[in-house]
Amino acid sequence: MEFTKMHGAGNDYVYVDARDMPERDWGTLSQSISDRHSGVGSDGLILVMNSEVADLQMRMFNSDGSEGEMCGNGIRCFAKYAIERGIVAPSVASVTVDTLAGIRTVVPHFLGSAVDSARVSMGAPRLAPSDIPVDLDPAIASQGGPIVHYALQPGDFRLYVTLVSMGNPHAVTFIDQPVGEFPLHNIGPLVERHPIFPRRANFEIVNLREDGNLDARVWERGSGETMACGTGACAIAVASRLLGHTGDRVAVNLPGGTLTIDWDGVGEVYLEGPAKEVFSGVWTE
């Protein structure tokens, strides 16, 4: 099976052109191909598939084999893959991609003939508790969204989270300490599997720096800590604006690089960041 490893701000995925492949247990393949010792090594697997409603369909699987609805870093590399292999016309102004979160449009930015970065229309954030989804006390849930500053107790820790769905669930917390000092590997799994999240959750910790920039780390549902998360950066920008910390445009600094997000507080969220190819190979099973 031919594959290509790509990454967006260090969030790395193995890409397979599955347009002519029979359906199979992609989750199990994602587990083995993602393994950093016995596999290619990645945060998950992304499949290029045919679509009847968009240019192509993207399916993404986390390294634990679970399927995610959307991947903000992965979709930029997905467009680069499709353009540079001629699956869509090399001169296209945009690529439409059918995902479990809806159809998303990717505008590629070229460096010479290669796609180097891209801007993605990520859809409007979903803020109602049933859309996250989150099981809250009916008295709180009936007030609708957004759910900001919700007190959560993972283990002995107390956090205040803002809940945002970008098609997939995110819990965002702002902390006063530098993000590098936060015990993400202890708290992340507890938030991901907290009983209020029926489909688990991605978890973002954010530090609003004095210069107005945001530093963040992400614990991803199904993959653990990653170098960056595109939907996570969007959720962070939405939460930050809802809480009055930042305005319409914000740069989110993650361990793997910086992602830029635009959200006017009403409409779609736009995500901009790098798209890089690492290497290609053949996976033998």
Q: Which of 46, 101, 179, 229 is catalytic?
A: 229
Tell whether residue 162 is a contact of ligand LBFN2T5F (CB under 6 A): no
Q: How far is the CB of 59 from ligand LBFN2T5F (least distance, A)?
A: 11
Q: Which is nearer to ligand LBFN2T5F, 90 or 135 (CB)?
A: 135
Q: Give the Cα separation of 74 and 223 in Å (integer).
A: 14
Judged by CB under 6 A, the residue of 4, 34, 57, 73 near ligand LBFN2T5F is 73
* Cβ closest to ligand LBFN2T5F, residue 56 vs residue 227: 227
CB 101 within 8 A of CB 269: no
Tokens of 253: 């600094």
- Distances from the Cα of 271 to the Cαs of 9, 148, 171, 202, in angstroms? 12, 22, 18, 18
Nearer residue to ligand LBFN2T5F within complex by CB, 1 or 100: 100
Q: What values do phi and psi take at 149, rounded to 5?
A: 55, 40
Q: Does 68 bind ligand LBFN2T5F (CB under 6 A)?
A: yes
Among positions 59, 194, 221, 241, the unique one binding ligand LBFN2T5F when judged by CB under 6 A: 221
Cα angle 67, 73, 79; round to 5? 95
123 binds ligand LBFN2T5F (CB under 6 A): no
Total residues contacting ligand LBFN2T5F by CB under 6 A comes to 17
Rounded CA-CA distance 219/208 in Å is 18
Instruction: Name 50's Cβ contacts closer than 8 Å, sequence gap at least 6.
Output: 19, 56, 57
Q: Which stretch binds ligand LBFN2T5F (CB under 6 A): 131-139, 153-161, 182-190, 216-224?
A: 216-224
Rule CB under 6 A: is residue 30 a binding residue for ligand LBFN2T5F?
Answer: no
State yes or no: is 77 an active-site residue. no
> Using CB under 6 A, which of the segments 67-75, 124-132, 171-179, 182-190 binds ligand LBFN2T5F?
67-75
223 binds ligand LBFN2T5F, rule: CB under 6 A: yes
- Is-catalytic flag, 229? yes
Residues annotated as catalytic are: 71, 229
Binding site for ligand LBFN2T5F (CB under 6 A): 11, 62, 68, 71-74, 168, 202, 220-223, 226, 229-231
